[in-house]
Amino acid sequence: MKRRLRNSLGFVLLAVTLWLCFDNVFSDDAPIRALAEKTACQKKKCEEQHGLVKESRTPIGQTIDYAWRDGTLSVYCHRAYWVFGERQCAIE
């Protein structure tokens, strides 16, 4: 019984890890970048020329850096409850 429980728990942990990797690292992130840019534009003026400088994707979330002439802004995006939920972005 303990062995079955341990194996089942290991399988669930592996499945969640694979889902996080697929969802945050390997899938298309265009909607996430759009949400991140919208979040960055709340802090800085998007009418000014700016661009994406760096993007870091991990199984838990991703960090996107935008640069303006007067500095850079780092935006971190993740799901509300890691595995499911709406995406949320916040300025770091």
pLDDT digits (tens, 9 = 90+) for 76-90: 999 988 788 899 999
Question: CA 33, CA 21: separation in Å to the nearest integer?
Answer: 17
Domain spans in the chain, listed from the N-terminal domain onward: 2-91
- Does the pLDDT value for residue 47 go beyond 80? no
Q: Residue range 10-25: average pLDDT?
A: 91
Q: For the chain, where are the E strands, in sequence order?
A: 51-57, 61-68, 71-81, 84-91
